Amino acid sequence: MPLFTTPPKSICILRLSAIGDVCHAIAAVQAIQRQWPDTKITWVTGKLEAQLLQHIDNVEVISFDKKQGWKAYLTLRNALKDHHFDALLHMQATLRSSIASLMIKARVKLGFDKARAKDAQWLFTNKKIDSAKSSHVLDGFMAFAEKLGIEDLKVQWSINIPEESKQKAINLVNNKPTFIICPVASKAYKNWTVEGYSALANHALKQGFQVFICGAPTKIEKQLAETIIKQTNQQAIGLIGQTSLIELLALIQQATLILAPDTGPTHMATIVNTPVIGLYAHHNPKRTGPYYQLDHVVSVYQQLITQQTGKSIEQLPWRARVKDDNAMSLITIDAVITMFDNLSQKQEQ
């Protein structure tokens, strides 16, 4: 039974990170907005993620800077001292976010079902979503909207990319077929091999693509980009640290094809309907892969998790992960090149 039969006046969304999960949550929030356009939405999110959320309509964005430690919670409490929500959608099952939820006054505090809750999230909520219809993270978020009483659960996105960001991307692409490699995930074990990325960059260059290497200005991303560029005889173009989050989204929108491991840009590509090759070994792509592009994934997850556990995916817990730091190296260059060729040929048709 839905929690609301009439539109609530206000809802708070609590999803601090990461970029990919925030992309999923946007679809759920915008489903709520379609049915209840007058409901005020406030979203508590991470400092980086706020850069993306400020470009969606009719959402008050409150940034939570985890680097401030305990001060971040006090800042959040002060920011929300005059707010009292009809419902809090507690969309992140971590202890940090659960502590943050204590700073948010709401009559209903809706959390995950038993399969998806962890870190004792159930102690911080008074209502639970029903079991989601699929294993995908996004469908778990949509279950929040459904529990509230939302009927149209179509997955779609509307992001207001600023004109200056669009123009920067258009100038960079310059009407050329463009292949973007975002090589680094938040955890190093999710990254593919430098040999693999370099081989795909060289293959794309031979096919007439220009190749951009994109990412944040971290040490590992800079080093990896430099190596890939060197392996292409300086033909690939390094854009590490040269785009904001919204500028990266604009660039992905203008590109022909994206390559990335299990990380935010795979989902950003899905938002703007750009073909993306997702690389997976540790997590089930049916749970964390690019929502509308799961058939573009190159994955060794199923064979590895079966080898490690002796069980089928259906017999394993929802979060079952392959525990092998070298698992991504088992994704073959040939398999990724085949997917690249298939997708680039579709683009030409």
Q: What is the CATH number of domain 163-348?
A: 3.40.50.2000
What pLDDT was estimated at residue 70? 96
CA 163, CA 161: separation in Å to the nearest integer? 6
Residue 33 neighbours by CB under 8 Å, 6+ apart: 39, 41, 57, 58
Peptide bond into 25 cis (omega under 30): no
Percentages helix, strand, coil for the chain, rounded to the nearest 5? 45, 15, 40
CA 338, CA 334: separation in Å to the nearest integer? 6
Structure token pair of residue 52: 């993306």
Question: Does residue 52 carry a pLDDT above 80?
Answer: yes
Give the phi and the psi of residue 130 in degrees, each rounded to 5: -75, 160
Q: For 62-117, how does the pLDDT look when each residue is reduced to its tens digit (9 = 90+)? A: 999 999 999 999 999 999 999 999 999 999 999 999 999 999 999 999 999 988 99
Question: Does residue 348 carry a pLDDT above 80?
Answer: no
Question: Which pLDDT band holds residue 349 (cuts at 50, 70, 90)?
Answer: low
H/E run at residue 75: helix 70-79
Question: How many Cβ atoms from other residues are within 10 Å of residue 24's Cβ?
Answer: 24
What pLDDT was estimated at residue 346? 83
* Segment 152-174 mean pLDDT: 98
Does residue 168 contact residue 155 with C-beta atoms inside 8 Å? no
Does residue 99 contact residue 119 with C-beta atoms inside 8 Å? no
Question: How many Cβ atoms from other residues are within 10 Å of residue 170's Cβ?
Answer: 14
Q: Does domain 10-148 have CATH number 3.40.50.2000?
A: yes
CA 5, CA 17: separation in Å to the nearest integer? 30
Structure token pair of residue 149: 């009483």
* Segment 32-52 mean pLDDT: 97
CA 324, CA 308: separation in Å to the nearest integer? 9
Q: For 274-330, how does the pLDDT look when each residue is reduced to its tens digit (9 = 90+)? A: 999 999 999 999 999 999 999 999 999 999 999 999 999 989 998 999 999 999 999
- Residues constituting the chain: 349
Q: For 16-36, how does the pLDDT look when each residue is reduced to its tens digit (9 = 90+)? A: 999 999 999 999 999 999 999
Name which of 101, 158, 91, 73 is nearest 128 in CA terms: 91
What pLDDT was estimated at residue 174? 98
Helix (H/G/I), strand (E/B), else coil: 76: helix
Residue 160 neighbours by CB under 8 Å, 6+ apart: 55, 56, 57
What pLDDT was estimated at residue 347? 79
Does residue 257 contact residue 210 with C-beta atoms inside 8 Å? no
* Global confidence as pTM: 0.96
Question: Which pLDDT band holds residue 243 (cuts at 50, 70, 90)?
Answer: very high
Q: Which residues pair with 178 in a beta bridge?
A: 210
CA 109, CA 88: separation in Å to the nearest integer? 5
Does residue 32 contact residue 11 with C-beta atoms inside 8 Å? yes
Q: What percent of the chain has pLDDT over 70?
A: 99
Residue with tokens 């938040």: 186
Name which of 37, 87, 42, 34 is nearest 64 in CA terms: 42
Does residue 129 contact residue 145 with C-beta atoms inside 8 Å? no
DSSP 8-state code for residue 310:
S
- Residue range(s) in the chain whose domain bears CATH number 3.40.50.2000: 10-148, 163-348
What pLDDT was estimated at residue 133? 77
> For the ranges 33-42, 226-235, 314-323, which has the lowest average pLDDT?
314-323
H/E run at residue 86: strand 85-90
Q: Which residues pair with 260 in a beta bridge?
A: 278
Structure token pair of residue 252: 């992905």
What pLDDT was estimated at residue 131? 85
